[in-house]
Amino acid sequence: MGNNLKAARDRSSGFLRYVAENRPSWEIRFFSTTETHSPEAWRSSVLAWKPDAVVLCASVMPWARRGMRLVPASCGIVAFASADEARNGMLPQRTLFVDVSDVEIAKAAFALLSRRGLAHFAFAHPGARLMDEDRARRRAAPFRKTVREGGFDFREFGKEGSPSEMGPRLRDLAWSLSSMPHPCGVLAYNDQCAREVMDACHLAGLDIPKQIQIVGVDNQEDICENVRPRLTSVVPDFEGAGHLMARRLDALLGCGGAAGESGRELPPRVVSCGVLRVAERDTTIDLSGAARLVTAAERVVREYACAGLDGNSPRGLTPDALAERLHVSRRLLEIRFREVRGEGVAEAIRKRKLEEVRRQLRETDRPIGVIADMCGFPAKTHLDVIFRRTFGCSPRAWRRQSRR
């Protein structure tokens, strides 16, 4: 499922976490690529099992579309990794699409690269597999829009017409990267494409990160940690997508598999999850040193915002405790944070706490008072005030909206 094995594992983990938490009366069977690699294999394996619902991934969708006429009308379908309804128009109306948001990926990458003071940006998808070409174009579009709305220069590499062979493709990409104004920032379609961008930079004699700063997508650690310099990568919420998919599937089956069959309305047809974080490594180093301090601070914030450094603080992490952990003064930490992020340390901690609150509201049935305590808010009333001020509604109302 998805672009790599880690994404597949994370999606499966999120799916199975929902099953463990909610205990729906499902019998689940996983089919391998071999069992779904052709229409004949699809019919003899998946369809022969006569499932009530099918979860698809991008790689099997072409075969699934061809054999869909054989799927009984009562069978619900949830499609991963492709929320393009035009592309999947042959799938029946009862199909739900669960995806990771390309808009959120683009925003996360741009936010990081723009903090480095860059004014020139590119999107690269060299060597994207045929099945990924549509997705690469759809991922390029929000990045292009975000960059141009900021008033910056944008280019795209790897569109139709680029050589299919590795050698000529790298030479073309090396020439294109050399012709850009430097320094510039490049978002690659995924980590595999980012590795090709790095190879092209080495071929052209371009310095990473002084001249080219590169961000991949998926955070495949076998790639990111084993290239030099190490690759920065956006981390999509694949596990959240798996959890959301299971919940949507539960709702779909509760509707009888099609709208109107049980008098209940189907949930929204297209839903998506966002980005967990950007895993910053050497390809986006801030040579001034300010971002290195902020990056270290953000790692601590992500892990300890709710519970505090001792794991049992009723207020969660405090700015003073964070500064002490990083062996810097509170004042210096505040200055660097505002330089790089444009916000204060306390605001960053509060955002992380609220992010966890929303996850808990979306994925669990815990009482709001318990969630407030778990996420470092001294009282439910305190959480209510901050949540309303930030999101314009109460935690209870947000929980209802997120589950529609």
Q: What is the CATH number of the domain that holds 315?
A: 1.10.10.60
To the nearest 10 degrees (0 to 180), the angle between helices 345-363 and 330-341 is 70
Residues 72 and 48 sit within 8 Å (Cβ to Cβ): no
The CATH code of the domain that includes 109 is: 3.40.50.2300
| Number of CB atoms found within 10 A of residue 305's CB | 23
Chain centre distance of CA 73:
32
145 and 209 part of one domain: yes
User: What burial letters (b/e) apply to 8-18, b meaning 16+ CB within 10 Å?
Assistant: bebbbebbebb
Query: Which CATH number does the domain housing residue 248 bear?
Result: 3.40.50
Same domain as 114, residue 24? no
Determine, yes or no, domain membership for 280.
no
> What is the pLDDT tens value at each position of the chain, 404 positions in all?
334 677 888 888 999 999 999 999 899 988 877 777 777 777 788 878 888 888 877 655 555 555 565 666 667 777 765 545 545 555 666 777 888 899 999 999 999 998 887 889 999 998 655 456 778 888 999 999 999 998 899 999 986 556 567 788 899 999 999 999 888 999 999 999 999 999 999 999 999 998 999 999 999 999 999 999 999 999 999 999 899 889 888 887 876 544 334 444 555 677 788 899 999 999 998 777 776 788 788 889 988 999 888 877 778 899 999 999 999 999 999 998 887 777 899 999 999 999 999 999 988 999 999 999 999 998 899 999 999 999 899 999 998 887 76
pLDDT score for 262: 42
279 occurs within a structural domain:
no
293 plus 354 within the same structural domain: yes
Task: Judge if 290 and 249 occupy the same domain.
Answer: no
Are 158 and 40 members of one domain?
Answer: no
Query: Is residue 333 in some structural domain?
Result: yes
Asked whether residue 364 is domain-assigned, the answer is: yes
CB 100 within 8 A of CB 241: yes
DSSP letters of 353-397? HHHHHHHHHHH----HHHHHHHTT-S-HHHHHHHHHHHHSS-HHH
Taking the CA atoms of 267, 100, 102 and 360 in sequence, report the sign of the dihedral they define: positive
Phi and psi (nearest 5°) for 181? -65, 145
Task: State whether 193 and 295 are in the same domain.
Answer: no
pTM here is 0.71
Whole-number pLDDT of residue 81? 54
In a domain, residue 49? The reply is: yes
Q: Is residue 81 domain-shared with residue 109, that is, in the same domain?
A: no
Shared domain for 180 and 203, answered yes or no, is yes
242 and 215 inside one domain: no
Asked whether residue 21 is assigned to any structural domain, the reply reads yes
In a domain, 184, yes or no: yes
Report the pLDDT value the prediction gives residue 270, as an integer from 0 to 100. Answer: 77
Do 42 and 132 lie in a common domain? no
Residue 281 lies in a domain: no
Q: Tell whether 75 and 110 lie within a shared domain.
A: no
Residues 218 and 133 in one domain: yes
Alpha carbon distances (Å) from 18 to 86, 144, 239, 281, 363: 29, 35, 10, 32, 8
Q: Which domain does 161 fall in, by range?
A: 102-236
For residues 245 and 314, give the distance between their C-alpha atoms in angstroms, rounded to a whole number.
34
How many domains does the chain fold into? 3
Interior angle at CA 102, CA 158 and CA 132, nearest 5: 45
